Chain A
């Protein structure tokens, strides 16, 4: 018993000493700090590059700038504890006035609730929330999803334009239990029926399970030749997980087949790895990256068969939400100003066409003013833009819900 007391006393003393020190050493000039939480390079590289872009623009809070960057663990499905305490640790900085989590993995809503309890003054933004829309809408000041409803139709439409006759949707139970992804799958199935294509659902291992990223990728590498053999070369493939994208592309180049765009599209999503490209020189410059990837895709005979968004979705959401938060905090705009939000996104995507709209609850018809759905035109390598954002989408797709 004595030892506990001794240890506790020692640790408490140490805590106090350092608490005193760390407070005193604050000598930065930024009027406020913005916390950015993203995945790591192996989970979602683009999100992280977006945070680096923000640091490039506004400086690291450690050296007098604005941005504090943290990452959530790779196996976030096992370590919700860590995700929550990482986000919560940001609220320890009294100058921190906004937190951006992209992607908002499970646990974000709980962390936001705790931040709110402690620091109601902090702006909370969630990019690509994994938790169900009503859950995140309740706690976040702004949430951004890629438009899973419209894209459920436009991806199928684009696949048909590119020449595909069948559509293979690769996913696994965890993703299908997300309302956003599960709903999009249903919409895709409906769109395939309407456009006269065959819809196939294939299951692949979850990279956050025991097999890990490597095992999940190996599975795709081994299965793809069989799938292409089975469904024919005029088949478009789509996967809901980032880690599956690279091996999928690799095998599509080798065995034929179509790829409209990734779940979270970007020229950096899967392509550099599948094509063996080194893009370090172009890092952050998406026009150059797109050009280099395109040359390589065309050289491999992939012209007209492979698509993407011209700019990275993950990168833009991290950077765009950061910019939006900075503008609000600097008093240049206020929370809820849609024009300024669009403008913040456009800052990182010159020349691209975005479509955006509020999230509508399919059951109640209510619009959520703090949840936006966005998407971009699909860029087909060796062919140019497909006007997906200009497509009129039958309202019936918006009424599809998971409960009927």
Chain B
């Protein structure tokens, strides 16, 4: 009994969302094959971005909302590839090659900032994202077309200044997904995309075992002791953020090649949100995350995104209310995951204290005679 209880308490976030999903599926009236094919698509599209969050969590820096900076770098790479008319897989490779140095720089910068904001990394990262928004708009609307000439009419704003608001990525659309597309019954599986994700998983498993990975975990446990043990804490934390930012850059490119459309100035904003929602729902906490959490999270969150608008419509007999309900759930996920995380922390602390008290009492009972 105790076991069941603690299992439930440990996985409360995941279980709540699993329950909502199971309730929403029949109400949505969608067929199983539609949901599964959509899940495959969304899984290929967004899981890479979620993986970008693992390392900073490992290093005790919470959810890296500053991954938006990496996503922005990826978008700049894509703008470059589309503007120079580089098509297909080669276009994506070029976008990645352009994006990586940018994201290393941006990651180093945000690592520096986050090191100066110890203990408040998440909110600082969040605000860094907004800060980057401004710089990016300045770059896209002013620097582009002035210092960096725009070569293609489809990329240019209608009045000739800066990059367009909606950029059609037709030339690189499916550049990764469609290299090898395996047909299994009614589903088509983007094999290469999944292979890339698998390689990333292996990388993370390998990385945890390296010296650097061990250092990160040590820092995540206790910075002071790590420092005393001779680990360069600041440098290691910066590296965690740099790797996360680079992964976010690649993840955003994978995400956008699947969507085939980019809102130049807003697409990156959602990257942090959705990834955070997924990893939290998957059972990660702001201090502990694994590959398993990513898989469960992406699976559940997207099952919810697919079904809730229609389930809401069926429940409230109004398309609009259904849409509102799904919005409410989307943002509610993050809020409730954070609240539940705080509750879990408190519970863990209580348990630890109770354990301490019990052993103290036992000691007192034992030593009482003396």
Interface residues of A (CB under 8 A from B): 1, 3-4, 7-8, 10-12, 14-16, 18-23, 38, 40-41, 48, 51, 62, 69-74, 77-82, 84-86, 88-89, 92, 106-107, 109-110, 113, 130-132, 135, 173-174, 176-179, 182-183, 402-403
Contact = CB atoms under 8 A, between A and B. Distances in A.
A89 B259 CA distance: 16
Given A11-B22, A82-B326, A89-B310, 6 more contacts: A16-B32, A38-B319, A71-B323, A74-B323, A85-B305, A177-B164
B327 interface: yes
B168 A72 contact: no
A379 B190 CA distance: 55
20 contacts: A3-B296, A11-B21, A11-B22, A14-B22, A16-B32, A40-B323, A41-B320, A48-B320, A62-B314, A70-B319, A73-B326, A81-B270, A85-B305, A89-B309, A106-B166, A131-B166, A173-B157, A176-B158, A177-B165, A403-B153
> What 7 pairs across the A-B complex have the smallest Cβ distances?
A19-B32, A182-B158, A92-B34, A177-B165, A15-B32, A40-B320, A18-B26
B26 A89 contact: no
Interface of chain A: mostly helix, strand, loop or mixed: helix
Contacts of B259: 80-81, 84, 110
Interface in B4-47: 14, 18, 21-22, 25-26, 29-36, 38, 42
B31 A7 contact: no
A107 B157 CA distance: 18
B260 to A, nearest CB: 5
Nearest to B260: A110
A19 B31 contact: yes
Contacts, number: 133
Interface string B240-276: 0000000000000000000111010011011000000
A71 B34 contact: no
Given A11-B21, A18-B26, A110-B261, A92 B31 contact: yes
Interface residues of B, number: 51
A1 B314 CA distance: 35
Contacts of B314: 62
Contact of A77 (B14, B22, B263, B310): B263
Contacts of A84: 259
B299 interface: yes
A10 B300 CA distance: 12
B180 to A, nearest CB: 17
Interface in B288-319: 292, 295-296, 299, 303, 305-306, 309-310, 313-314, 319
A78 B270 contact: yes
B218 interface: no
Contacts of B164: 177
Given A89-B306, A135-B168, A106 B32 contact: no
Contacts of A77: 263, 266
Given A1-B292, A85-B306, A110-B261, A73 B159 contact: no
B343 interface: no
B300 to A, nearest CB: 8
Contacts of A109: 168, 261
Interface in B158-173: 158-159, 164-166, 168
Nearest to A16: B32
Contacts of B21: 11
A36 to B, nearest CB: 9
Contacts of B263: 77-78, 80, 106
A351 to B, nearest CB: 31
Contacts of A173: 141, 157, 165
A176 B319 contact: no
B245 to A, nearest CB: 21
B309 A82 contact: yes
Contact of A7 (B153, B158, B296): B296
A72 B323 contact: yes
B324 interface: yes
A85 B26 contact: no
A18 B36 CA distance: 13
Contacts of B35: 15, 19
Given A3-B292, A7-B299, A11-B303, A106 B31 contact: no
Nearest to A19: B32
B30 A22 contact: yes
Contact of A70 (B266, B269, B270, B309): B309
Contact of A179 (B31, B158, B270, B306): B158
Contacts of A40: 320, 323-324
Nearest to B295: A4
A38 B322 CA distance: 13
Contacts of A73: 323, 326-327
A4 B293 CA distance: 9
Contacts of B326: 73, 82
B305 A15 contact: no
B158 A402 contact: yes
A239 to B, nearest CB: 18
A62 B303 CA distance: 22
Contacts of A178: 158
Contacts of A7: 14, 18, 296, 299
Contacts of A86: 309
A256 B270 CA distance: 42
Contacts of B18: 7, 10-11
A63 to B, nearest CB: 10
Contact of B31 (A22, A62, A402): A22
B261 A107 contact: yes
Most-contacted residue by chain A among B166, B168, B295, B309 (CB, 10 A):
B166
Given A7-B296, A15-B35, A92-B30, A177 B269 contact: no
A71 B292 contact: no
Contact of A174 (B165, B296, B305, B309): B165
Greatest chain B CB density within 10 A among A7, A84, A132 is at: A7
A4 B296 contact: yes
B165 A78 contact: no
Contacts of A135: 168
